[in-house]
């Protein structure tokens, strides 16, 4: 069993120690009582989604021998107005650079979303996740 520790450091700020030994800080925006000094826990979820799918897409394209030079993922999202303020819609926009086969890129994104990305699998049970892909030289 993996262990993550969380310590309150004042205000709305917390410091986390991951099971792999890495530290991370979260805070909340000023209008939520924090200082806005770090990402919020909800932002970390979206960041985790983008990172998870990014790792998958890079690995899958490498396996397909696609010459990926760069990948940027931008996440757009909406949250419910009332508590709990869950995500109600997430759009991931993938921008890839390289001489890439569009069909292989689409396949890599689909495999990440539908099979490999654990974060997407969890979130996808409660929120619609859509994606767009742009391939640039």
Q: How far apart are the first and last CA of the chain?
A: 44
Task: Place 110 in a pLDDT band, splitting at 50, 70 and 90.
Answer: very high
Exposed / middle / buried, residue 108 (Cβ in 10 Å: 0-12, 13-18, 19+): buried
Question: What's the chain's average pLDDT?
Answer: 97
The predicted pLDDT at position 123 comes to 97
Q: What is the pLDDT of residues 14-41, one digit of tens each?
A: 999 999 999 999 999 999 999 999 999 9
Joined together, the tokens standing for residue 55 give 């790792």
pLDDT tens for 60-87 read 999 999 999 999 999 999 999 999 999 9
Return phi, psi of residue 111, to 5°. -65, -40
pTM of structure: 0.94
In the structure, what pLDDT confidence band is assigned to residue 108 with cuts at 50, 70 and 90? very high
The pair of three-digit structure tokens given for residue 92, joined into one six-digit string: 């991931």
In angstroms, what is the C-alpha Rg of the chain?
Answer: 17
* Cα-based angle 103, 58, 119 (whole degrees, multiple of 5): 100
pLDDT for res 120: 97
């Amino acid at each position: 069993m993996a262990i993550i520790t969380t310590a309150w450091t004042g205000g709305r700020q917390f410091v986390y120690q991951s099971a792999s030994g890495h530290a991370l800080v979260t805070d909340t925006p000023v209008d939520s009582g924090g200082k806005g000094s770090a990402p919020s826990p909800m932002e970390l979820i979206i960041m985790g989604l983008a990172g998870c799918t990014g790792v998958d897409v890079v690995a899958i394209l490498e396996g397909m021998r696609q010459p990926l030079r760069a990948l940027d993922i931008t996440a757009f999202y909406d949250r419910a107005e009332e508590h709990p303020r869950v995500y109600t819609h997430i759009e991931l926009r993938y921008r890839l650079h390289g001489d890439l086969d569009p069909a292989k890129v689409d396949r890599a994104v689909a495999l990440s979303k539908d099979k490999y990305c654990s974060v997407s699998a969890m979130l996808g049970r409660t929120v619609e996740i859509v994606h767009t892909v742009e391939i640039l030289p």
